[in-house]
Every structure is written in C-alpha cells, then in structure tokens.
Amino acid sequence: QGKGKIGIIGSGLIGRSWAMIFASAGYNVTMFDIKESQLTGAMADITNQLAELQKSGTLRGALTAEQQRALISVTSDMKEAVTGAFHVQECVPENEELKKKVFSEMEQYADDAAVLCSSVSYIEPSKLFAHLKRRSQFIAAHPTNPPYYCPLVEIIPSPWTEQSVVSRTRTLLEEVGQVPVTVKKEIYGFALNRMQIAIVNEAWRLVADGVMSPEDVDKVFTAGLGMRYAFCGPFEVIHLNAEGIASYLERYGSTIQRVSSTFGPPPAFTGPVYDAIVQDNDAHYPLDKLQEMRGWRDARLVALAKLKKDM
Ligand code: NAD
C-alpha cells in the first residue's frame, strides 16, 4: 500500500536508483524496460542493496527493506508503468532520437495531470520536448550518480514547462530527500557536468604537459580540494580563504586571471597521454573489480552523508 504511483522508464543504473529513492518515501513504483533481463537484474540488485542498507543501518525512510521492496514492481509494457502515475521518470540511454521517441509514447498513456520527467544529463530540454503535444508537462531532473547517495538533482524546465510542473517536481524531490537546484536557462551539459568537464580538462592537460602523474592528480581532489568541497561550494571556499570574497579577489583576482589565460584548449583524449591515463587507472582499479570499487565508494558516501546530516 503506497502513497501514489510513480512510473520509471528504463531500469539501468539510474532507473533502479530512482526506484529505491521513491520507494523509500512510501511511493508505489512501476518500472518498465524493453529488456526483460534488465528488469530481472534490477530487482535482484534492488533487493540486495536494500538488504545491505538495512543491515548497515543506512536504509533511507521509515519503512523496512522488505516493505520498500514490496512497493516496487516491474513490467514489459510501458502503458502499465505510465497509466495512473502522477510522476514518470525517464531513464533510457542518453540518445536524443531514442528519448524523443520514448517521450512521444509516454504522453499517449500519461494521466492529464502527470509530471513527465527526464533524467537527461546533457541535452537541452527544448531539443527533447519541442515535438510533443503535451510539452508543458515535461521537465528534466538530472540526478547525480549514484543518486541514492548523492542527493543533488538539477531541475531544468524547457521554455514550455508549466510553473506548477516545476514546483511539483521540486516538492517531490525534496520530500524524498534529494536536493534540487534549478538551471534557470538552458545550456548544454547543465551546471554539474560543465563544472566536472572543466576539472577533467585541466586534470588531463596537467598530465599531458608532464606536470603531474594521474595518480597525484586524483590526490589533489581526494586529499585537497574534495575535502573542502564536500562542505563548502567554490564561492564559500574563497570567502573563507580571505576576509570574504571581496578581500579574496582584491588579493588574488589578477592572479586568477593570469592563471586562467594559461589554460589550454580542450584535450583531444587520444595518443600517448590517453594510453598512460587508461593504463594507470586500469592498474589501480581493475575493470573486473569495478562493482566492488563502487560498493567501497558507496559505503564511504553513506558515511559522509551521515556526517553531514549529524552536523
Ligand atoms: P543504462 O544504460 O544503465 O540504462 C538504460 C536502460 O534503459 C537499460 O536498462 C535499457 O535496457 C533501457 N532502455 C533502452 N531503451 C529503452 C526504451 N525504449 N524503453 C525503455 N527502456 C529502454 O543508463 P543509465 O546510466 O541508467 O542512464 C540513463 C539516463 O540517466 C541517461 O540519460 C543518462 O545520461 C542519465 N544519467 C546517468 C548518470 C550516470 O552517471 N550513469 C547520471 C545522471 C543521469
């Protein structure tokens, strides 16, 4: 017996994570996929994860793992997932044509008042929603991987999205424990990925220019910048690094501009640097151990989330 129905389209990494998040708040979730094997895998994964989270005392929400598991069902029929849902979360691969086709199908079955939401990472919603009859009901909500442990969600309305759809999406996300932020103006890659790409580009250039090893570049984050960024954003960091932002910029503004003028063009991600970075990472994190490494990462993210909550 859940609070209301939520449909999930696509049961991969992101779809199954949304299912767990919505079930943790007591919603009935129906997950659809075109691949039967993905649905079977998703349910086994969810059952396993919920049991582990319960065992470690880090399960979200007030319900038991068994009660949450019972709120989630799967179907090979999109209509069954969408009909009667007040919110539908699309999680199919990042492909413009595929997403457009899936949205056209979703709007055929959706309830009049349903919010139709995409987990899209990069593509501007106006490109994805322009062709739809019910485009005022569509919105994008881009989660942060892994969504169960990293609560940030970027909400991106299209030019046609109704204000009530924006506010209902925000309210639902807050209720289930995520942290929504709004991308007020469409831009390719939104905010999170643009910032991540700026970092990856500079990390790559530092290795390419022989300034640092890939391993040490990662330490700049894990033992340096990442320590503060888990608690303070870039503006807060510089505010605290001097007597406020004005004082920081008075001292370092011209230095920042000088350093900025030395950033190179976007890397090509090919050649000997590519080989060095791929080999270095494959040696540290063997490809057949990635699932284990993700478990290791998630356990630490849970501990960090707990620390932040208890502060
Ligand atoms: P994934 O490949 O793990 O899962 C995609 C699922 O969609 C698969 O189970 C596939 O069978 C299914 N699918 C394919 N075509 C379908 C269709 N027509 N109807 C229904 N299901 C279909 O991908 P993912 O990592 O879960 O990504 C899904 C979306 O979420 C993408 O837009 C991605 O950019 C976005 N996203 C991903 C991450 C991430 O780090 N993985 C983070 C945030 C957002």
Q: Where are the domains of the chain?
A: 5-182, 192-310
Answer yes or no: CATH 3.30.70.260 is held by domain 5-182: no
Query: Quick one: CATH architecture of 192-310?
Result: Orthogonal Bundle (1.10)
Q: Are 122 and 101 in contact (CB under 8 A)?
A: no
Question: In 10 A of CB 183, how many CB atoms?
Answer: 17
Q: Are 109 and 29 in contact (CB under 8 A)?
A: no
Residue nearest to atom 44 of ligand 1 (CA): 121
Q: Report which ligand 1 atom has the smallest distance to the Cα of 101.
A: 18
Quote the ligand 1 centre to 119 CA distance (angstroms).
8
**Average pLDDT rounded to a whole number, residues 128-152:** 96
**pLDDT tens digit string along 157-185?**
999 999 999 999 999 999 999 999 999 99
CB of 143 closer than 6 angstroms to any ligand 1 atom: yes
Q: Range with the lowest mean pLDDT among 133-147, 259-273, 292-306?
A: 292-306
Quote the ligand 1 centre to 234 CA distance (angstroms).
30
The answer to whether residue 6 scores a pLDDT higher than 70 is: yes
CB of 154 closer than 6 angstroms to any ligand 1 atom: no
* Mean pLDDT for all residues in the chain: 95
CB of 119 closer than 6 angstroms to any ligand 1 atom: yes
Quote the ligand 1 centre to 18 CA distance (angstroms).
11
- The reported pLDDT for the residue numbered 57 is 87
**Average pLDDT rounded to a whole number, residues 30-48:** 97
CB of 14 closer than 6 angstroms to any ligand 1 atom: yes
**Confidence class of residue 56 from pLDDT cuts 50, 70 and 90?**
confident
- The reported pLDDT for the residue numbered 309 is 82
Q: Are 39 and 76 in contact (CB under 8 A)?
A: yes
Residue nearest to atom 38 of ligand 1 (CA): 145
- The reported pLDDT for the residue numbered 1 is 63
Tell me which of 9, 11, 13 to substitute to probe ligand 1's pocket, judged by most ligand atoms within 8 Å of the beta carbon: 13
CB of 94 closer than 6 angstroms to any ligand 1 atom: yes
The answer to whether residue 26 scores a pLDDT higher than 80 is: yes
Domain 192-310 in the same topology as domain 5-182 = no
CB of 9 closer than 6 angstroms to any ligand 1 atom: yes
Q: What is the ipTM of this complex?
A: 0.99
CB of 88 closer than 6 angstroms to any ligand 1 atom: no
Quote the ligand 1 centre to 19 CA distance (angstroms).
13
The share of the chain scoring above pLDDT 90, in percent, equals 91
**Average pLDDT rounded to a whole number, residues 197-225:** 95
**Average pLDDT rounded to a whole number, residues 187-212:** 96
